[in-house]
Amino acid sequence: MKGGRLNLEISGKLSQKLHITPQMKQSLSILQMPITELLQELNSYLEDNPVLEETDDRQQEEKSEEKEEMVEETKGDDLDNIDWEEFYRDHNDITFTPTDDEGYDLEKFVSGSKTLYEHLTDQLKTSGCPRNIAAAALDIIGNLSDEGYFLDATEEVAEEVGVDEETVEQALTLVQTFDPAGIAARNLKECINLQLAQFDVDQVYVDFIADLLENHEKDLINYRHDEIKAALSIEDDTFDYMMFLMRKTDPKPGLSYGGGENHAVKPDVYIVKKDGEYDIILNEEGIPALRMNTYYLNLLKNRSLDGSTKEYIEEKVKNALWLIKSLNKRQKAIYRVVKVLTEIQGEFLEKGDNFLKPLKLKDVADVTGLHESTVSRVTAGKYAMTHQGLIELKSFFVKGLDTDTGDMSTQKVKNMIKEIVDSENPEKPHSDQKIVELLNGQGINIARRTVAKYRDELSIPTKSQRKRIRR
């Protein structure tokens, strides 16, 4: 109130409302899922969607390109504007058919069985972390519960290993980045959050789920979903997506390794050499062939069908279409990416680590025509069975160093450093600068600090330490 007069002010305020497209999230999630997760999710989709049905008809390989183009072109990404008349004519061609193994005897590929401890320590060895963090991480790994949780106090680890608590925290953070996702969590909330972070989920959903687990667990257990949505101020589609994400997580990641029992990682793809070339065989064992259930499609043609039932069936049809489209995209993307990886890293598959070539996500994206993020999702958490053993697809990507003849992988440079140290005079070990000069003589341009870093990652002592050890 100014000068006895009432000032009325009208202001407009724009606010951004959270809205997601569940189908888009579903498509990205399916692309990223390894075979074991995909099998679990498909079971859920089949239970939830009566329009989807399994079929034993696998005689549609010759139509694979045709069916994919039809799903892409006539349906596209706009599922709200389906031409239903056209759909009735063409729905028999909208299918997903898993690839077969073309008669290969894949039993000859035997994956290595490891305990959880071995699986985690192998990752620790290749992490390149400082020795004090590695020592703390090893203690953490050795004291995980069978379910994969870290339940000890950080001060106890610090005292046992002889490091400070900050180092233990750094070690714990490192171990929590290892596979399986969610390992070394201190509680259920942290376990799920760690997995969601590795699934590349937007932070807003991570926060919502954290709030849900911390403050509304009883409501969730008692199916009081409306109360949860009201408390979190979210809509149905956001809540449904949160449930979808939580179903993807494993609350007991350590049990997948059977405590101390052997566990074989399931490969997502087999790389088989035949007639001098590599064949790519997707492991889709257990994945059903899918098609539309004609009973529900025929119901849609019934003009006397009530509005709510029609709306329900149409929604399930759209979801089924999107799932089939996503599965076909996943199938095609994995094949294309792995095919390029084998073409570029053929020498590595034939001869081993020293023959890995420097490779970036962008390099594969440029060749395949896929986006870098798609290549990243295709290779995340997936494994290939090869004659070199079971290899994580991300292992095909390595950094490189400049040399006179082009880029060389960092792994090969590390191997060369190890060879130089192994062959040096025990009485006169090489300094880091001397190693630089020897590598320069072989056309490798490398800085002294880089040599020191690689030497430390290889757990090779300094010059003076090596001299004392050998006396």
Q: What is the residue-wise DSSP string for 394-422?
A: GGG---EEEETTEEEEHHHHHHHHHHHHH
pLDDT score at 17: 46
Q: Tell me the torsion sign for CA atoms 230, 232, 237, 243.
A: negative
Pairing of strands 289-292, 52-55: antiparallel
For residues 310 and 74, which has the higher predicted lDDT (pLDDT)? 310
Report DSSP state, residue 393: G
Per-residue pLDDT at 209 exceeds 50: yes
In this prediction, residues 232-258 reach a mean pLDDT of: 81
Encode pLDDT of 395-414 as tens digits: 888 776 666 666 677 778 88
Q: Which of 263, 224, 27 is nearest to 122 (CA)?
A: 263
For residues 252 and 166, which has the higher predicted lDDT (pLDDT)? 166
For the chain, domains (ranges, CATH) are 22-101+283-330 (no CATH), 113-256 (no CATH), 400-470 (1.10.10.60)
Pairing of strands 383-386, 269-274: parallel
Report DSSP state, residue 74: I
Token pair 């039932």 is found at: 309
pLDDT score at 470: 60
pLDDT score at 172: 95
Encode pLDDT of 172-184 as tens digits: 999 998 888 889 9
How large is the C-alpha radius of gyration of the chain?
27
Per-residue pLDDT at 365 exceeds 90: yes
Per-residue pLDDT at 381 exceeds 60: yes
Name the average pLDDT for the chain: 80
C-beta of residue 216 within 8 angstroms of C-beta of residue 231 = yes
- Which range has the top average pLDDT, 16-20, 382-386, 462-466? 382-386
The verdict on whether omega for the bond into residue 251 sits within 30 degrees of 0, i.e. cis, is: no
CA angle 413, 419, 425 (to 5 degrees): 135
Token pair 């006895």 is found at: 4
Q: How far is CA 152 from CA 160, 214, 216, 251, 288, in A?
A: 12, 21, 27, 18, 43
Per-residue pLDDT at 79 exceeds 60: no
Per-residue pLDDT at 471 exceeds 60: no
Chain-centroid distance, C-alpha 284? 17
C-beta of residue 325 within 8 angstroms of C-beta of residue 317 = no
Per-residue pLDDT at 38 exceeds 50: yes
The model's confidence at residue 207, banded by pLDDT at 50, 70 and 90, is confident
In this prediction, residues 16-37 reach a mean pLDDT of: 73
Spell out the residues 6+ positions from residue 114 whose beta carbon is closer than 8 angstroms to its own.
Answer: 122, 257, 262, 263, 265
Quote the CA–CA distance of 114 and 263 in Å, as a whole number.
6
Per-residue pLDDT at 11 exceeds 70: no
Quote the CA–CA distance of 318 and 51 in Å, as a whole number.
10
Q: Which of 294-298, 406-410, 439-443 has the lowest mean pLDDT?
A: 406-410
Pairing of strands 113-114, 263-264: antiparallel
The model's confidence at residue 70, banded by pLDDT at 50, 70 and 90, is very low
C-beta of residue 216 within 8 angstroms of C-beta of residue 179 = no
Quote the CA–CA distance of 47 and 30 in Å, as a whole number.
17
Per-residue pLDDT at 84 exceeds 80: no
Per-residue pLDDT at 61 exceeds 50: no
Per-residue pLDDT at 351 exceeds 60: yes
CB atoms within 10 A of CB 455: 20
Encode pLDDT of 97-145 as tens digits: 888 766 565 655 544 456 788 788 878 887 778 889 999 999 999 888 8
Q: Which of 36-45, 77-86, 112-121, 324-333 has the lowest mean pLDDT?
A: 77-86
Beta-sheet strands, E only, within 295-405: 383-386, 389-392, 400-403
pLDDT score at 92: 62
Q: Which of 236, 237, 238, 217 is nearest to 226 (CA)?
A: 236
pLDDT score at 274: 80
Three-class DSSP category at 133: helix
* Helix (H) or strand (E) run with residue 198 in it: helix 188-198
Q: Which of 430, 402, 303, 407 is nearest to 357 (CA)?
A: 407
Quote the CA–CA distance of 143 and 149 in Å, as a whole number.
9
The model's confidence at residue 87, banded by pLDDT at 50, 70 and 90, is low
Token pair 């509005």 is found at: 307
Q: Which of 166-170, 201-205, 237-241, 337-341 has the lowest mean pLDDT?
A: 201-205
